[in-house]
Structure 1
Amino acid sequence: MGQKTISRDGTSLAYRSTGDGPPVVLVSGAMSTGATLVPLAEALAGHGFTVVTYDRRGRGESGDTAPYEVAREVEDLAALIGAVGDGAALCGVSSGGALALRAAASELPVRQVAVYETPFAMDEAGKEQWAVYTERLTEALSQDRRGDAVELFLRLTGLAEDMIRGARQAPMWAGMEAVAPSLAYDAAVLGDDGVPGEELARIGVPLLAVAGGASPAWMRDAARAVAEAAPHGTYRVLEGQTHMVEPGVLAPVLAEFFAG
């Protein structure tokens, strides 16, 4: 990644900065490393920002320290903000949005927070599906069945069984198994109760929650609920976009928000 900083518990964090201007830290979602968000970082940097991508603990070139706690990932963001300058903005994508929100609610020195499609369960059926997933994920990881853990995640995202079987034979599978233990981290960050309204109510900075117009309706419902739970929340829909949002479409929306 190019640069390193140390979190409060001694964990080494690898990060990369691009661009010049007010700092924005991007937070990746499940099965992702900082490299996943480089295209978005480069697009956003073109609008006059210093954009930081990093490997969350347990991924890529960053270290890890047991036992895992969500608070330690918040401390990771505190270390990154300390490295790039107080007053950084946060932007979380997918489950990375849940971490960005919890960090903002913890009163880290951030100026704004934006999230794209944080997948909080929105009804009882969704919460039941999530509970089954987390239970099976915990079992698979406790037995070091990393491939099975990845399969559970891919199935949760709606990937077809034949595509999952194909993925197991692909060169990328080894990399997916390498970060499989971090699936438990994303599960912990998202929690079990859907949108954490009481926590979001503590966010005192401007918040932007964005969803894709071509994504499932529950994704848009979750983004709207996040915005409504925060005192200074705004909700936006990007027409034609899915969960795999195009960086060139999302970056101008983020730039407008962060410039404000």
Structure 2
Amino acid sequence: MQHVTSADGTAIAVHRSGRGTPVVIVGGAFSMARDASALAEALVDRGFEAVTFDRRARGDSGDTKPFAPEREAEDVAAVVEAVGGSAALLGHSSGALVALLAAAHSAGAPGGDAHGADSSAAGTAIAHLFLSEPPMRFGQQEPPADLADRLQALVDAGRDGEAVTTFQLEGVGLPPQMVEGIKASPLFAHLQTLAQSTVYDAAVAAATSTPDERLLSLAVPTTVLVGVETMPVLERAAPMLVERMPSAELVRVPESVNHAIDPAATAAIVAERLGA
């Protein structure tokens, strides 16, 4: 493990394995670098350097406030810079949204964010985008607009468990009975340690749920992946994104079931697109 420093000074924990073209894996909600170990191994077997990292406010990475979605794009840029300045990005779920923001950041989209930070490119290049089941809603059944603010209020009040369940119910759209089952499981204690990250995932989702022109017009080759038996919002979002994004193609991955990314099948798709 190594730490790289993002633009706002946040330390981001990075793990690298293998040799070859770097593929940076951007995990989804509640995930950490270790959760992508099987996918990383499959990529290494295909001749890539697999790069995993703890997104900010998770695991061994730090967190610096104030937050804006652009901060996560800068985190990815710092990771890419550390592995040579050029990489493919493979983002799953909310990680796909972060990967898309990172590609726009790398492309030097004009303007700053609400906090006045410069969003120009940081000298990195994104060779290919792999977006696995991005949770875009395109204006349909959007979470409440104040979700991120309410989650932050819960975290500030020390109500981490409530922040987790609120995000699962309102941000992800999990059925109440499933959320209750998770709450009663041993996993819930770990999820509470990631409560701050729910605020950031909610903010990233709100910023990208209906992607704007700077995201849709990216020239980066893009592969949008969708599995089977996944959530209806994800099944709907993938083709809607491809229809609107000229650089994108849709690839269905029957081996990926229930919003879980299949390592071997996904690595094979990456290898085919990157020529490994």
Q: Does the TM-score normalized on the shorter chain lie above 0.5?
A: yes
The 1:178–1:199 alpha-carbon spacing in structure 2 relative to 1, beyond 3 Å, is: same
Deviation at 1:87, TM superposition (A): 1.8
Specify the alignment match of 2:151 in structure 1. Answer: 137
Deviation at 1:100, TM superposition (A): 0.3
Aligned 8 A contact 1:105 1:202 in 2: no
| 2:266 partner amino acid | L
Cα distance in 2 for residues equivalent to 1:79 and 1:34: 16
CA deviation profile, 1:127-158 (whole Å, cap 9, x unmatched): 2x454754653443343311011112333445
Once the two structures are superposed, the pairs formed by residues 81-230 of structure 1 within 5 Å of their partners are 81-106=80-105, 107=107, 108-124=124-140, 126-127=141-142, 129-131=143-145, 133-134=147-148, 136-156=150-170, 157-191=172-206, 194-230=209-245
Answer with 146-155 or 221-230: which moved more: 221-230
Normalised to the residue count of structure 2, the TM-score between the two structures is 0.85
- 5+ unaligned residues in a row in structure 1: which ranges? none
| 1:62 partner amino acid | S
Other structure's SS at 2:209 match: coil
Percent sequence identity over matched residues? 36
- 5+ unaligned residues in a row in structure 2: which ranges? 108-123
- RMSD (CA atoms): 2.1
Specify the alignment match of 1:80 in structure 2. Answer: 79
Normalised to the residue count of structure 1, the TM-score between the two structures is 0.90
Cα distance in 1 for residues equivalent to 2:136 and 2:231: 13
The 1:257–1:198 alpha-carbon spacing in structure 2 relative to 1, beyond 3 Å, is: same
Cα distance in 2 for residues equivalent to 1:193 and 1:111: 21
The 1:158–1:188 alpha-carbon spacing in structure 2 relative to 1, beyond 3 Å, is: closer
Aligned 8 A contact 2:147 2:202 in 1: no
The 1:123–1:243 alpha-carbon spacing in structure 2 relative to 1, beyond 3 Å, is: same
Other structure's SS at 2:12 match: strand
The alignment of Structure 1 onto Structure 2 pairs a total of residues equal to: 257
| 1:32 partner amino acid | S
Other structure's SS at 2:72 match: helix
Aligned 8 A contact 1:214 1:239 in 2: no
